[in-house]
Every structure is written in C-alpha cells, then in structure tokens.
Amino acid sequence: MTNGPVSHDRPKRFYRDVTAEPAEGGGWQILLDGRSVKTPGRQLLRFPTEALALEVAEEWADQKTHIDLLGMHLTRLSNVALDRTAELREEMAEEVARYCETDLLCHIAEEPFELAALEEARWGPVRDWAAENFGVILVTTEGIIASPQPDASLQAARDYALGLDDFRLTALVYGCGLFGSALLSMAVVEGALTAESAFHLSRIDEDWQAQQWGVDEEAKAAADAKQVEADALGRLIEALQD
C-alpha cells in the first residue's frame, strides 16, 4: 500500500541544466543540458518572447526527481499554441462565442439582494469594458437560465478571438474555461484585469456562500488548484508582453 502519487507514473528527470536561448529562425527556446525541447507534435518548443522562455525554463528547472507534466501549465499551454491552435482557430473562436452565450458575468443572483448587488457592482464594469472596446454587448439575466445573446455580439467575440496570435488565443480559451467567462478572459488577455483579479471575480458567489455557511474543504482544494492555474495564465500573459 502506498501513500500519495505513484512516482513511476511520471517520467524521471533526465537533465541537470536548463537554459533559455535564441532559437534559429527567430524566437526563443529552452535547452535541457544543451539540447532543444520538442512539442508532442515534434515541433521545436519555440517562444515568441524571452520572458516566456524564461518562465517555461523555470518550470523545467523546478522539477524534482520526477517530472510533473500536468503541473507544468506554461509548458502545456505553449505545446497547445504550437501544435493545435493554428489548425483550430475557427473552432476556438466559436468556443469563445459559446462562453459568451452563458457568460458568468451575465447571471446575476436572484437572491439575496446583497449578493445580487455585489455581483452587479463588480461585474458590470467588465461588461461595459467589453462592450465599449470590442462591441461584445451581452444581456444579463437573473438566475441560471441563459438569455439569448445578440448575434452581433457573438460575432464580435469571434472576430476578437481570431484577431489574436496563437499564444494569446490559446490563453483566451483557457481562461474562458478557468473563469467560466469569456469577458473575464478577454480582460486578462488585454491587460485590463490581472488573472488574480479575474479569478476572484469569478468566485463571488462561492466566496459569499463560504462566508454564510463555512468553508467546504473539498471545494477549497478545488479552488486552490484553480488559483494555481490562474497564476500560470497571468504569468503567460505578462511574459507575452516582453
């Protein structure tokens, strides 16, 4: 009988030194003992900025005896951006539009009044920002039943997504799932919100319930894991600004 994760399910660390260097043909790469790293699709793991290469190099350097691939969020997102996003841009833009159809920021609590007022006060400015900057004007509703959203707004969301480069589009779709909101993810990608702020905005209802009824340890563990992912998303976006 064993306690904790089974280490042989993860590959052993096979390198000592991790460095970030310019890549032939442009961009940046990381080297493990002087050897370049490939994506699962056998492409060079190439980064558009030195800052992102350094962040990913730190992920690899932080690995211990075994490599925790699932916990290497920036590496995984970079792999997706390089291997998948170019082929799936239309589908990913459509996914952003689907999140707009059920965007968290459009579902105001029916009761209590204090929670509904808090959500509107915190979420309204983000909705206004998306409307003013990108024409993504979404309709609010009370409760969990979605209200039909304007076709023009959904198309504006698709157009916004398709205007991003592959790394930022990858980040946008990842943020949609993380926050349950295309609008919060857009604000993070554009630097209008930090990923930490967006994470807390996405949890207004859960935090309210915890204040009223106490903290559920299982829910807290899940939230803590999501906060780690939000931190990684924030570091990705910041590194892309380099």
Specify whether 94 is located in the same domain as 193.
Answer: yes
Given 83, 109, 139, the domain boundary residue is 83
Q: Same domain, yes or no, for 30 and 132?
A: no
Cα gap 28→47, rounded to integer Å: 5
pLDDT tens-digit profile of 128-149? 999 999 999 999 999 889 899 9
| Radius of gyration over every alpha carbon of the chain, rounded to an integer in angstroms | 20
Query: Does the residue 1 lie in any domain?
Result: no
Last residue of a domain, one of 83, 110, 135: 83
Q: Report yes or no: 95 and 179 within 8 Å, Cβ to Cβ.
A: no
How many Cα neighbours within 13 Å face the side chain of 42?
A: 0
What is the bridge-based pairing of β-strands 141-142 and 107-108?
Answer: parallel
Confidence of residue 176 (pLDDT cuts 50, 70, 90): very high
pTM here?
A: 0.93
Shared domain check, 69 and 119: no
SS3 state at 184: helix
Same domain, 107 and 192: yes
Total structural domains within the chain: 2
- 215 falls in which pLDDT band (50, 70, 90)? confident
Closest among 109, 217, 218, 233 to 178, alpha carbons compared? 233
> What's the whole-number mean pLDDT along residues 29-44?
97
Give the pLDDT band (50/70/90) at residue 4: very low
Domain containing 73 equals 7-83
224-232: list long-range contacts, CB under 8 Å, 24+ apart: 226/178, 226/199, 227/196, 227/199, 228/73, 229/73, 229/178, 230/178, 230/179, 230/195, 230/196, 230/198, 230/199, 231/195, 231/196, 232/73, 232/74, 232/77
Task: Give yes or no: residues 51 and 95 share one domain.
Answer: no
Domain assignment present for 2: no
pLDDT at 217: 85
pLDDT of residue 77: 98
- 138 with 72, same domain: the answer is no
Tens digit of each residue's pLDDT (9 = 90 or more) over 72-114: 999 999 999 999 999 999 999 999 999 999 999 999 999 999 9
